[in-house]
Amino acid sequence: MTLQERFAPAALIAAACAEAGSDDFGDDGWQAGLDLVADELVNEARLSAIGVEIAHLDLIRALKNRLDVIDWRKKHPEIAEKPITAPIFIVGQPRTGTTILYDLLAQDPELRAPLTWEVDAPCPVPQPETYHNDPRIPLAQASIEMSEQIVPGFLAFHPMGALVGQECVRITASEFTSMIYTVQYRLPRYYRWLLYEADHAGAYRYHRIFLQHLQSGVPGQWLLKSPAHLWQLDKLIAEYPDALIVQTHRDPLNVISSIAALTHHLRRMGSDESNIAECAAQSYEEITVGLERGMASRDSGLVPDNQMIDVQFADFISDPWTTIKDIYDKLGRELKPDAEQKMRDFLAKHPGDGGRGRYTWSDTGLDAGEVRDRVRAYQERYDVPTEELK
């Protein structure tokens, strides 16, 4: 079978339907994204032999999960009647502390984060009595550990785990309107389509469907995270009008070099031909557009000021507990002693390493002066300090 045949959308859909035993994908609109991702995986991604297998599994999983969730919802229509109330979203540029902030807040027993294992295999609906020993957990963990074997050191760069909160881009992967594909694979037309042309409303509709699915088994106030929401704050607030949004801020230049290095590491899982300067050029375009679009959404009044909380990366890293207590105050929540202790225990076990020189600005091939000019309005708008370039 040729690569074109393997990634033909009709073949992918047929394989997923056969595996799921269903052919109802719910709303239309996702096919355009699938068509473009599949075409670029064949013609632009420079996949290695193992990359072909990884990419094929990614697409089949996204399709099958969508089929499974829609089928479950049809059999349990009461799921659609349960609201999503005041979800908390952590957004901001990638590599600005969003992950560790998310992981810490997720230690609060009163908050509900979607864990990696249940996002990757959402059916049957997770149940409280088996939530931490479900047989899907070791399968998810084994898959994560395989990535470390393919690219040694990857998990130190981007820690993951089956029992750790997963990002929303993994959910919207099933709508094929998701940044997860543009980071993991070289897809030049797809990332520009995603940035400038795609209608993300369908992705947020599916996101709600997915959360309703998971909470029908294990309820709670949702805690969610993805830097990708920064690009679509207007669509997020249109779908979740009572959302509470925590935005992290950091010097965009170190963000660009860090996300370029992470993108390069991710792409090396599926390609022997990744180029860090090419990753940086994409990151530069995406980050600057995201910052400008985020400011425009907030300044226009589309996103209410009283639903936004701003967090400086430098403040959070130097004194995480003051930052977290401030977040709780602004959310109108009490940081209970047991929740704080769970957070402190988690941080003690996951102290981080400050990056350890895994990325430098010189690797990007970008003009620092040009980029600084482009992001100056953002830094002034949010009083973001300029950092020494790594």
Q: Per-residue pLDDT tens for 202-261? A: 999 999 999 999 999 999 999 999 999 999 999 999 999 999 999 999 999 999 999 999
pLDDT on residue 355: 52
**Structural domains of the chain, with CATH:** 85-382 (3.40.50.300)
Q: Are 268 and 274 in contact (CB under 8 A)?
A: yes
Give the residue among 110, 113, 73, 60 at the shortest CA–CA distance from 90.
Answer: 113
Average per-residue pLDDT for the chain:
95
Q: Which residues have a Cβ under 8 Å from the Cβ of 117 and sit 6 or more positions away? A: 134, 136, 137, 139, 140, 141, 162, 163
Mean pLDDT of all residues in 26-47:
97
pLDDT on residue 350: 85
Which strands sit side by side in the sheet containing 88-92, from one edge to the other?
Answer: 111-112, 221-225, 88-92, 244-249, 308-312
pLDDT (tens digit per residue) in 46-85 = 999 999 999 999 999 999 999 999 999 999 999 999 999 9
pLDDT (tens digit per residue) in 152-172 = 777 777 778 999 999 999 999
Q: What phi and psi, each to the nearest 5 degrees, are found at residue 78?
A: -65, -20
pTM of the predicted structure, to 2 decimals: 0.96
pLDDT on residue 187: 98
How confident is residue 292, by pLDDT bands cut at 50, 70 and 90? very high
pLDDT on residue 387: 95
Q: Are 271 and 51 in contact (CB under 8 A)?
A: yes
pLDDT (tens digit per residue) in 1-21 = 899 999 999 999 999 999 999
pLDDT (tens digit per residue) in 350-376 = 876 555 556 789 999 999 999 999 999
Q: Which residues of 4-31 are buried (b: 16+ CB within 10 A; e: fewer)?
A: eebbbbeebbebbbeebebeebbeebbe
